[in-house]
Amino acid sequence: MKKGSKYFKQSKFNPVIFQKKLEESQVKIDRMKISFDHKYQALENFLTLIVNFASHDIKNSLHSLDGMVSTIAPPVIGKQEVNDMKMCIDQMRDILVTFGDFSIKNKDNSFEIGHLFQSLQILHRPYVKKDKVEFSIDYINFDKSLVLHQDFQLILYMFNNMIINSLTALKDSLNKRIKIILTKENEGIEVLVCDTGIGIIPENISKVFEAYFTTKESGTGVGLTHVRYVVEEIMNSQIVILDTQIEDFITIFKLIIPINSNDTQNIDN
């Protein structure tokens, strides 16, 4: 077989062809490396955010517990105060269990929606009482004994973050009101979280759900990111900030809690 023959040129041992194969392989390796780097960075960012979520929720529970302790007048501690503190401790324990399991999308717990918002009120009762905030919950067109099959703790943490934001926004307000309005809709339960605080300036409305964006001096910028994550990834729903006003409320968040086919629909017709 001669060196210049067509057979040798097509052979895999041809240096030119071999070099071309090497170059093609290198391109593939470079692409795989870039893809791996992107996936690794995405995973690192996700894990960082999850750790921040857990840290943020524990801090919020400690915040509520601190409020309860500060309202206790020694040497008498009432049964209600003890139960409230136990609840906060249980919340922190559940946060750590959830974080340890790292399987938040697979959880399926049953709870009455009334119990969810009653727990929310208990968590914030000390600060609501101390700061003289009017905190009310309205149920429209359905019974609060409706049973949902979703992750109770994650949804509670989500609303807890929203109420803490509202309480912070009310600090310099003379008319301190927070209202949660729940209405039965075709696709689920519409929830409006309303407050009479300082509001959100227009240029920040598109940023409030972004990770690490905050206007607070000591804020972490993960509270509302956590809210959006739970609404979109866990509940497969959406959350928006309304540009319309209800009563005298300045800031209104709207989200939908989906009702699944296996939920017990104790709905008033």
In this structure, which amino acid lies at residue 196? T
Cα angle value 250/255/256 (rounded, 5°): 150
Could you tell me which residue, 178 or 230, shows the higher pLDDT?
178
Given this model, what pLDDT does residue 123 score? 79
Could you tell me which residue, 83 or 250, shows the higher pLDDT?
250
Could you tell me which residue, 60 or 15, shows the higher pLDDT?
15
Given this model, what pLDDT does residue 1 score? 47
Given this model, what pLDDT does residue 65 score? 63
Per-residue pLDDT reduced to its tens digit, 116-171: 998 888 878 877 888 899 999 999 988 888 888 888 888 888 898 899 889 888 98
pLDDT at 222 over 90: no
User: How many CB atoms neighbour CB 206 within 10 A?
Assistant: 10
- Residue ranges per domain, the chain? 45-258
At 177, the pLDDT band (50, 70, 90 cuts) reads: very high
pLDDT average, residue stretch 92-100:
61
What is the residue-averaged pLDDT of the chain?
75
DSSP structure string for 61-112:
HHHHHHHHHHT--TT---HHHHHHHHHHHHHHHHHHHHHHHT-GGG--EEEE
DSSP structure string for 163-184:
HHHHHHHTTT-SS-EEEEEEEE
Alpha carbons 128 and 166: distance in angstroms, whole number: 11
Q: Does domain 45-258 have CATH number 3.30.565.10?
A: yes
Per-residue pLDDT reduced to its tens digit, 65-84: 666 656 655 555 666 666 76
At residue 35, what are phi and psi to the nearest 5 degrees? -60, -45
